[in-house]
Structure 1
Amino acid sequence: MLTNNGSSSCDLQGWPGVSFVGDGNGTQLGKSAELDRSTPHPTVTLAPGGKASAPLKITQAGNLPEEECKPKTADGFRVYPPGSTASLFIKTTDYTACTVPTASLLSVGALVAG
């Protein structure tokens, strides 16, 4: 979930960039999230304090053969709001990521208000 902490409204449109990170230093684990383009992606206007979110689907690393995944507990997620080069870090060790760069476990939908 993204929150507008500024004092004026802002517009966002599209998909956030999302990836698992780890190694205690923010190293990307596996492939970044594929963009789920099956739903509309309208412009979301966030008033100060307003929120937007994007649905995130996570495939369990155990569903892939170990040699195609090389599983590892992630430190969390790196998230890039649409159109931004600045990222956010969401800390959680509740997920197992893959360390193989081509292993895809994440899919993200477009931002929606709320």
Structure 2
Amino acid sequence: MNRSFRALLPAVTLAVVLSACSSPGGTETTGTPTVTVSASPSTGTPTPTAAATATPGPDGASGGGGDLGDGAGGDASSRCTVGELTAEIADGGGGAAGSYGVAIILTNSGQRSCTLQGWPGVSFVGDGNGTQIGASAVLDRSTAHETHTLAPGGEVQTIVRIAQTGNYDTDECRPQATDGFRVYPPGSLESIFVPASGSSYEACSNAQVQQMTVGALATF
């Protein structure tokens, strides 16, 4: 998807959030294709990264570390770190009735080329302190998960599909306002807080309600 097509939401400060999750296993390379991503002109305002704060990582289907696919760890030395990434959200397109898509875009803001591959961990957070609200997003494994090499300024995105809280019984869902998303790049034990507010980002606080799915990182 071309950047000029995206309806970018207001740029805001990103906060890096540390996780206490266990380390992902293995450092073997995958057999998936590699795609090189070149930098493209930016039409938005760069968003600075704020200071790190400690917080527990999410549990659930796409918790800390996300998923690199096929049980492989990839080459950790070439993987983009949280310190080399910035994040923003954009329109992710329509969905089925009562649902919508949000694009989470990761940009290599570092000085070297680095790689990303697989599914990021995504969850709603709130309470003004990074507390996870509801269940983590389920991984949509129907999406391809090539290794993407990002030159400085290069971008990839994941599409998060979110069911609106109005689809559920209120007592079951227990709707709650959120502050935005916690995003773990695949293979990372650190995360990025991506602010988002408004009724579209209301979460079911009942973790038994599965409200979100997340696709593998892809070019656009």
What is the TM-score of this pair, normalised by structure 2? 0.51
Match of 1:96 among 179, 184, 202: 202
Deviations 1:72-91 (A, max 9, x none): 11111100111111111111
Partner of 1:53: 157
Deviations 1:22-57 (A, max 9, x none): 111111111000000012110011001101100110
Where does the alignment leave 5 or more consecutive residues of structure 2 unmatched?
Answer: 1-104
1:7-86 counterparts in 2 under 5 A?
7-86=111-190
Given the alignment of the two structures, is residue 105 of structure 1 paired with residue 203 of structure 2, yes or no?
A: no
Give the letter aligned to residue 113 of structure 1.
T
What is the TM-score of this pair, normalised by structure 1? 0.96
Q: How far apart are 1:113 and its partner, in Å?
A: 2.1
Distance 1:86 1:113 in 2: 22
Say which SS state the counterpart of residue 113 (structure 1) adopts.
coil
Q: Which has the higher contact order (CA 8 A, sep 6+)?
A: 1
Partner of 1:4: 108
Larger radius of gyration between Structure 1 and Structure 2: 2
Structure 1 vs Structure 2 CA RMSD: 0.9
Where does the alignment leave 5 or more consecutive residues of structure 1 unmatched?
Answer: none
Identity %: 57
Q: How far apart are 1:5 and its partner, in Å?
A: 1.1
Deviations 1:53-80 (A, max 9, x none): 0011010011011121100111111001
Give the letter aligned to residue 178 of structure 2.
A
